[in-house]
Amino acid sequence: MEIKGEIFRISGPVVTIQGVNTRMYDVVKVGNEGLMGEVIGIEGDKSIVQVYEETAGVRPGEPVENLGMPLSVELGPGLLESIYDGIQRSLPILKDTMGDFIQRGVMIDGLDHEKPWEFKACVEAGDKVSGGSVIGVVKETHNVDHKIMIPPNISGTVAEIKEGTFTVVDTICTLADGTQIKMMHKWPVREPRPVSKKLPPNIPLITGQRILDGLFPVAKGGTAAIPGPFGSGKTVTQQQLAKWSDTEIVVYIGCGERGNEMADVLNEFPELEDPKTGRPLMERTVLIANTSNMPVAAREASVYTGITIAEYYRDMGYDVALMADSTSRWAEAMREISSRLEEMPGEEGYPAYLSARLSEFYERAGRVVSLGGLDGSITIIGAVSPPGGDFSEPVTQNTLRIVKVFWALDAKLAQKRHFPSINWLSSYSLYSKALTQWYDENVSPQWTELRDDAMDMLQQEAELQDIVQLVGSDALPPDQQLTLEITRLIREFFLQQNAFHPIDTFCPMEKQYQLLGAIQKFSDKANAALESGVLIQDIIKLKSKDELAKVRFEEDFDGSLKKVMDNMDKEFDSIKGELFAEGATQEVE
């Protein structure tokens, strides 16, 4: 097979090559500088390559070489705490080799091939192993045991197994047929890693974000989309999830977004603590940063690089959460390449395979039993950036057909600085039912009812607001005015959550339950007071109710909540007392 040829044509990131045999998705080195690219089309004796680096200055006639393997990532110890571009090149190493600005023509390994790791074996010579079998463990970071697995397509009998200090490319195990197993193996990014079976998602991913855990939970192994216009809170929400979710591993893909945002993550994550383990968040995180000004072809690949790394940790039996910000930029990268290929465009210029690519991607989420028999999951949370904030566009629509949770960001709420600006009327979670049991057992048997009541009231509010728009709130009967006041509390004290407040940023389930319970208690008391003849104006004036607003910011949550609730009791007693003293009409309770 001919592995060398030459460039025929260059048009931006799309390069046509000739004189070389290729298969689809083969990786090729292009031009004098050996830029990395991937075959994405074959036409007669020419192949079409998308190049992951800038092509300025490259000329027809320059040499190309087919490396004969598909675009793959290196999987093994050392992934955690890494920050990669879209094709698993370490950004710190790129900086060391070429400075502060990204130049081209540098190929580097995804993993450090020289770093020594302490390997502990857990199989013996004579053991039968197959794809996914764990043969040993490496302590990758303080809290993550990296399980070394037999690659999916290999099986046999262990002939020799070592223990001690090795690099990822040393042989640590030899099978009877001579196959050498290393701590690292490669896997083609566009091919999902096999699992032995899929499990139903019935455990919530607890995020510490009240509106998510409370109203629209996503299950571990589930899929969620978060569409919204610019500035509505996609990135902040994704980052909140990456920080506070009760997941073991986080893969965060900055796909075609801002450089400063990635710098922010890099700055913050080593400082912040995982609420569960108390260790720096970075120790459980892999970052992929292919910002908007980095090459589009690598942006297209970044999503696959991320999901493959996520699958690898899932196979070890971990719960992995993957955030992709933003899938729209990924779709646009597809569109850009597709239009350079002069393919027949589909809706709004996106390629006809947009919908297939999106579903293939989200299909890689799930709670599974891995080949090695371990329970693991990948939860995918994809941001969507619809042009003009219009959800009827193809990327949003195709995504909504697949995902089970829809967090609809709302520009109006964002403008009112109601954050997270997730619209509670249009968002939904199809997991709510499946998760009820978990909430019953782990939060409180009352939780579901509390939550449903809150949702109900919010629906009522929307209807009442329509009337208020016409006649003003004073014209409503007192009980409806009270409903509006209670839903205001739900919105402002429960749904709103300040991601930048050191305490409010993360709200454990127990606190969420207490807060909602407190609002419910106010509601009960207020309704009772109203029935006994207290004026709505007097209820609305109660101080304790507004003090409730600040409880969530307090270090001593329980103490301050108790104080507020005690005050509330007193206040209600006193307004009822006044009523009594005035001898106003009262009803018997």
Ligand X SMILES: Nc1ncnc2c1ncn2[C@@H]1O[C@H](COP(=O)(O)OP(=O)(O)OP(=O)(O)O)[C@@H](O)[C@H]1O
Of 23, 97, 79, 9, give the one whose Cα is nearest residue 51.
9
* Residues in CB range of 301: below 8 A, 6 or more apart: 38, 52, 71, 86, 87, 189
Q: Is 385 in the site for ligand X (CB under 6 A)?
A: yes
Task: Tell which positions 305-364 bind ligand X, by CB under 6 A.
Answer: none
CA gap 490, 455 in Å, rounded: 9
CA gap 328, 334 in Å, rounded: 10
Mark residues 390-409: x for contact with other proteins by CB under 8 A, - for none.
Answer: x-------------------
Q: Is 502 in the site for ligand X (CB under 6 A)?
A: no
CB of 209 or CB of 285, closer to ligand X: 209
From the CB of 142, what's the least distance to other proteins, in Å? 23
Task: Tell which one of 101, 197, 466, 555 touches other proteins (CB under 8 A).
Answer: 101
CB of 124 or CB of 474, closer to other proteins: 474
Instruction: Identify which range of 82-90, 166-174, 492-500, 539-547 contacts ligand X by CB under 6 A.
Output: 492-500
From the CB of 310, what's the least distance to ligand X, in Å? 21
Task: Tell which one of 88, 209, 235, 338 touches Mg ion (CB under 5 A).
Answer: 235
Crossing angle of helices 509-531 and 447-471, in 10° steps, is 50
Task: Tell which one of 105, 231, 275, 533 touches ligand X (CB under 6 A).
Answer: 231
Task: Tell which one of 469, 555, 583, 589 touches other proteins (CB under 8 A).
Answer: 469
Task: Tell which one of 38, 62, 81, 283 touches other proteins (CB under 8 A).
Answer: 62
Q: Is 256 in the site for ligand X (CB under 6 A)?
A: no
- Of these partners, ligand X, other proteins, Mg ion, none, which one is at the site of residue 420 (CB under 5 to 8 Å by kind)? ligand X
Q: How far apart are the first and last CA of the chain?
A: 92
Task: Tell which one of 233, 256, 366, 382 touches ligand X (CB under 6 A).
Answer: 233
* Residues in CB range of 226: below 8 A, 6 or more apart: 234, 237, 238, 381, 382, 383, 384, 407, 409
Instruction: Identify which range of 51-59, 174-182, 352-360, 423-431 contacts other proteins by CB under 8 A.
Output: 51-59
| Residue whose entry in the numeric block shows the structure tokens 């793959």 | 72
Task: Tell which one of 29, 234, 314, 451 touches ligand X (CB under 6 A).
Answer: 234
Instruction: Identify which range of 92-100, 181-189, 230-238, 431-439 contacts ligand X by CB under 6 A.
Output: 230-238
Q: Is 235 in the site for ligand X (CB under 6 A)?
A: yes
CA-atom Rg of the chain in angstroms: 28
Nearest-5° Cα angle at 107, 113 to 174: 35
From the CB of 507, what's the least distance to other proteins, in Å? 17
Task: Tell which positions 322-381 bind other proteins, by CB under 8 A.
Answer: 329, 332, 335-336, 339, 345, 348-349
Question: 521-527, long-range: CB within 8 Å, 24+ apart, which pairs?
Answer: 521/565, 521/568, 522/486, 522/489, 522/548, 522/568, 523/482, 523/486, 525/568, 525/572, 526/482, 526/485, 526/486, 526/572, 527/479, 527/482
Asked whether the beta carbons of 189 and 301 are under 8 A apart, the reply is yes
Task: Tell which positions 398-427 bind ligand X, by CB under 6 A.
Answer: 419-420
Q: Is 95 in the site for other proteins (CB under 8 A)?
A: yes
Q: Which residues of 514-523 are buried (b: 16+ CB within 10 A; e: fewer)?
A: bbbbbbbebb
Task: Tell which one of 157, 171, 553, 577 touches other proteins (CB under 8 A).
Answer: 553
Give residue 59's identity as a one-letter amino acid code: R
Torsion of CA 234, 237, 241, 244, to 10 degrees: 160
From the CB of 325, what's the least distance to ligand X, in Å? 7
Give residue 539's identity as a one-letter amino acid code: I
Asked whether the beta carbons of 522 and 486 are under 8 A apart, the reply is yes
Structural tokens at position 7: 């460039």
CB of 194 or CB of 231, closer to ligand X: 231
Task: Tell which one of 500, 555, 585, 587 touches ligand X (CB under 6 A).
Answer: 500
- Of these partners, ligand X, Mg ion, other proteins, none, which one is at the site of residue 145 (CB under 5 to 8 Å by kind)? none
Residue nearest to Mg ion as judged by C-beta position: 235
Give residue 317's identity as a one-letter amino acid code: G
Task: Tell which one of 24, 176, 467, 475 touches other proteins (CB under 8 A).
Answer: 475
Q: Counting beta carbons within 10 angstroms of the beta carbon of residue 100, is it exposed (0 to 12), middle (13 to 18) or buried (19 or more)?
A: exposed
Q: Is 500 in the site for other proteins (CB under 8 A)?
A: yes
> Nearest 5°: phi and psi at 182?
-115, 170
- Of these partners, ligand X, other proteins, Mg ion, none, which one is at the site of residue 277 (CB under 5 to 8 Å by kind)? none
Instruction: Identify which range of 2-10, 444-452, 496-504, 534-542 contacts ligand X by CB under 6 A.
Output: 496-504
From the CB of 422, what's the least distance to ligand X, in Å? 9
Mark residues 249-278: x for contact with other proteins by CB under 8 A, - for none.
Answer: -----x-x-xxx-xxx-xx-----------
Structural tokens at position 323: 């955030």
From the CB of 564, what's the least distance to other proteins, in Å? 13
